[in-house]
Amino acid sequence: MLLSADARTQVIGRYLAPMLAKRMESTQILDSDQNWDRPQEPLQVLADPIAAPYVAGVALHCYAGKVSAQTLVHRAHPDKDACLTECSRGDWKPLKTDTLLSMTRNLIIGSTRGWARGVLLWNLVLDKDAGPHLGGCMNSRGLVTIDSRTGEVTRNDDYFVIAHASRFVRRGAQRIESSESASGLDNVAFRNSDDGSTVLIAANSATNARTISMRCNGRLFQYTIPARSVATFVWVEI
């Protein structure tokens, strides 16, 4: 299903977008749906004067390249959205490795600091045989695994990666500025629109515990994050 950047500019600009404009006005087009290692392709599409006005943003995957590619595209086209539309783990990545830490750093923190409006992990639920599927990837792992024989539910590391954000960063929240931490200590902050609460997600990839300081509106608190772990903080200004 690969389409080159040249082909996409033609399909979007000449055919797909004009048709959607006539029939489904609210439908948006996200270009690429490909990995971080090909930022030159969405940059080419967004530079095309015919296709670019129809493209709402860029969809990206995590399987190759670096998350910094999102910022590269954003700086060139700050009026376009970015979405991390797919990332998966499977049998190639053992269940008990650094999945929680690495995915939180790259997807929840790195991707949203890199201007992503959303992060989608795939698949949500699979059975013990990585199904159902119709070919394609046959060894993926869902956020949740359900044993179809016993009904037993297993929440994998990927589940807790999303939980560190989705339980606390609610619909309508906006990412707010937070200072870059020292090497090996990453963070991202959000402001919830419903109650004004602030959420900070931090990941410590160092082999020793690290103490972080959170200062907001003149108030300060500190917390020591254990080695190679993730923490989420929520507070409301009074």
Mean pLDDT of 43-63: 96
Distance CA 132, CA 138 (A): 9
User: Given this model, what pLDDT does residue 237 score?
Assistant: 80
Q: Inform me whether the pLDDT recorded for 123 exceeds 60.
A: yes
User: Given this model, what pLDDT does residue 94 score?
Assistant: 58
Q: Inform me whether the pLDDT recorded for 227 exceeds 60.
A: yes
Q: Which amino acid is at 197?
A: S
Percent of the chain with pLDDT over 70: 97
User: Given this model, what pLDDT does residue 4 score?
Assistant: 95
Smallest CA-to-CA distance from 121 within 168, 177, 68, 159 is with 159
DSSP 159: H
- Domains of the chain by start residue, with CATH: 5-169 (3.20.20.80)
Kindly report the pTM of this predicted structure: 0.90
Q: Residue 174's CB: how many other CB atoms inside 10 A? A: 10
User: Given this model, what pLDDT does residue 69 score?
Assistant: 96
Q: Cα separations (Å) of 82 from 57, 195, 220?
A: 5, 26, 33
User: Given this model, what pLDDT does residue 97 score?
Assistant: 60
β-bridge mates for residue 145, sequence order:
126, 154
Distance CA 21, CA 50 (A): 14
Three-class secondary structure of residue 107 per DSSP: helix
The residue behind tokens 């670096």 is 66
Task: Quick: pLDDT tens for 62-79.
Answer: 999 999 999 999 999 999
Q: Inform me whether the pLDDT recorded for 145 exceeds 60.
A: yes
